[in-house]
Amino acid sequence: MIRLAAPVVGAAALALLSFPMLAAAQQQVPPAPAPAPVQPPAAPAPTAQAPVFDKPSEANFTAASPTKDEVNAFLKASWGFDDNRVWEIEAILKTPVQGVSKVVIEVGDKSGKQKPGAASFFALPDGKHIIAGDEVIPFGVNPYADYRSELQQHADGPYRGSAAKDLEIVEFADFQCPHCKEAQANMEKLAADYPKARIVFQNYPLARIHPEAVTAAEYGVCVAKQGGSSAFFNYASAVFDGQEGLSTPDGATLTLNSAVTKAGLDPTKIAACAKEPETGASVEASVKLAQELNVNQTPTLVVNGRQVPANTAYDTLKQVIDYQAKMDGVALQ
């Protein structure tokens, strides 16, 4: 499996936050000069309106599963955080593969500023997953419930906030990933705005492209083990601040030792702990957890099982978290 650091918005963001919507851009070109010097007044720009979708033909619904109600429930769970989004299920079609159905949707926005576009995905025979683009995504009336349960059981990284797991926000990050560094501003805001949330850090070093990330993760495991979660987040902040130092092995040693000192611990003891087999096994287990959840980019947040790119605009992050908490019956106040 190839894992790449991702920009703020990428294919996974489109798949997880919204299926790709077709946007149209129109450039107004001035007409050729008229012979008369007086130009007629410009016509008023048309008022944007919500899209009116064509009524779907019953002939387009040839598959027994999933049902329209199941698809609508899934779309409400996935897109309901955005009050501006509207859709119409156009087709649920049989395919040549037994049990695999193709679902076609028209998507638009109430403001009418975006041209409506088509989105499609393939529903798989297990009734719990779909394929959208090149992503396998949880499906169903409660699509994120299984991932939520898995994280409640296995997300064992250092955390801040509540010990309860009613609202659990798990950050999968790589200390050498520049986008993860950028995401820390969002993480600090989330910690302040959601004191009742349990915000967990899970190591996901992308060793193929970030050779020092594994060592940084191993140091982090030992810092949390010897100093607790508070020491870990002081360490993590210092590592991200000094991230440029991770570009070489010697620079990484200096950067990590400095971060350990800032966390109030002994770099010699942490370095010795980092070399222990159980420390490496802990990092590997965290990577495996990410892979089992189909997390394929860093930084990724998983909010009660629902994946969100951590560099998403903060207002959108809050919308998603508030909506997911409401769906799960979690009181935020």
Domains of the chain by residue range: 53-140, 146-327
14: Cα separation from own chain's centroid = 9
pLDDT for the residue 176: 97
Q: In whole angstroms, what is the distance from residue 259 CA to residue 172 CA?
A: 20
Q: Which residue has the higher pLDDT, 321 or 52?
A: 321
pLDDT-derived band at 253, boundaries 50, 70, 90: very high
pLDDT-derived band at 41, boundaries 50, 70, 90: low
Contacts for 311 with CB less than 8 Å, ≥ 6 apart: 7, 8, 9, 179, 182, 183, 186, 299
Q: For the structural domain made of 146-327, what CATH number should be given?
A: 3.40.30.10
pLDDT for the residue 134: 86
pLDDT, averaged across the chain: 87
Coil/strand/helix, residue 123: strand
Q: In whole angstroms, what is the distance from residue 315 CA to residue 313 CA?
A: 6
pLDDT for the residue 114: 76
Helix (H) or strand (E) holding 84: none
The predicted model gives 20-48 an average pLDDT of 41
The predicted model gives 291-296 an average pLDDT of 93
- Examine the pLDDT at 12 and tell me if it is beyond 80: no
pLDDT for the residue 47: 59
Quote the tokens at residue 109.
Answer: 């926005």
Percent of the chain with pLDDT over 70: 86
* pLDDT per position as a tens digit, 46-95: 556 777 888 889 999 999 999 999 999 999 999 999 999 999 999 999 99
What's the CA angle centered on 113, arms 111 and 115, to 5 degrees?
Answer: 115
Percent of the chain with pLDDT over 90: 77
The predicted model gives 258-265 an average pLDDT of 98
pLDDT for the residue 45: 52
Closest among 24, 333, 205, 113 to 325, alpha carbons compared: 333
Edge-to-edge strand list for the sheet holding 117-123:
85-94, 101-109, 117-123, 129-132, 135-138
Q: In whole angstroms, what is the distance from residue 70 CA to residue 141 CA?
A: 6
The predicted model gives 12-25 an average pLDDT of 35
Angle, helices 249-262 vs 267-274, to 10°: value is 120
What is the model's pTM?
0.83
pLDDT-derived band at 265, boundaries 50, 70, 90: very high
